[in-house]
Amino acid sequence: MSRYVTVVQNARLLDPASGLDAPGGVRIEDGVVVAIGPRVTTTPPSPHELVVDAGGQALIPGLVDMRVRFGEPGEEQKETYESGSAAALAGGVTSVGLLPDTDPVIDDPAMVEYVARRARRARGAGGWRSPTR
């Protein structure tokens, strides 16, 4: 049995890849989507389940933005990886591709490692957390 279960009910399910546009819900167990469709409900919910009523709002796959500029490295006063990632996540963007026009230029292995480390840290700071954890 899963420890962390979230059930989203009463949503408008949109999935462009499959052409799905229908009312329904999603069941998530330990961070993994295990069921999606019109029959996903929890009645009554068990004590270890978080049930969310979407109120008819759209539930879609995460968006990807492939043209992102963060201030790091060099212009952290504009935006950091943490603040940019949090803003993206708040807007439904789950993945970003950073443009290569930073100042200073990321042109050596040490700078690449710096960017990778900062991105991992930002993921941990702004990433999704189960409300039950």
SS3 for the chain is CCCCEEEEEEEEEEECCCCEEEEEEEEEECCEEEEEECCCCCCCCCCCEEEEECCCCEECCCEEEEEECCCCCCCCCCCCHHHHHHHHHHCCEEEEEECCCCCCCCCCHHHHHHHHHHHHHHHHHHCCCCCCC
Angle at which helix 109-126 crosses helix 81-90, to 10 degrees, equals: 50
Average pLDDT taken over every residue of the chain: 83
Cis previous bond, 44, omega within 30: yes
Residue 15, CA distances (Å) to 4, 29, 63, 64, 95 in order: 24, 20, 11, 14, 17
Q: How confident is the model over 108-112, as a mean pLDDT?
A: 90
* Spatial separation of the C-alpha atoms in residues 99 and 86, rounded to whole Å: 18
pLDDT band at 16 (very low <50, low <70, confident <90, very high): confident
Question: Could you report the per-residue pLDDT of 43-79, keeping only the tens digit for each?
Answer: 666 777 888 999 999 998 888 899 988 887 888 888 8
pLDDT at 81 over 60: yes
Contact between residue 72 and residue 104 where contact means Cβ atoms under 8 Å apart: no
Higher pLDDT, 42 or 121: 121
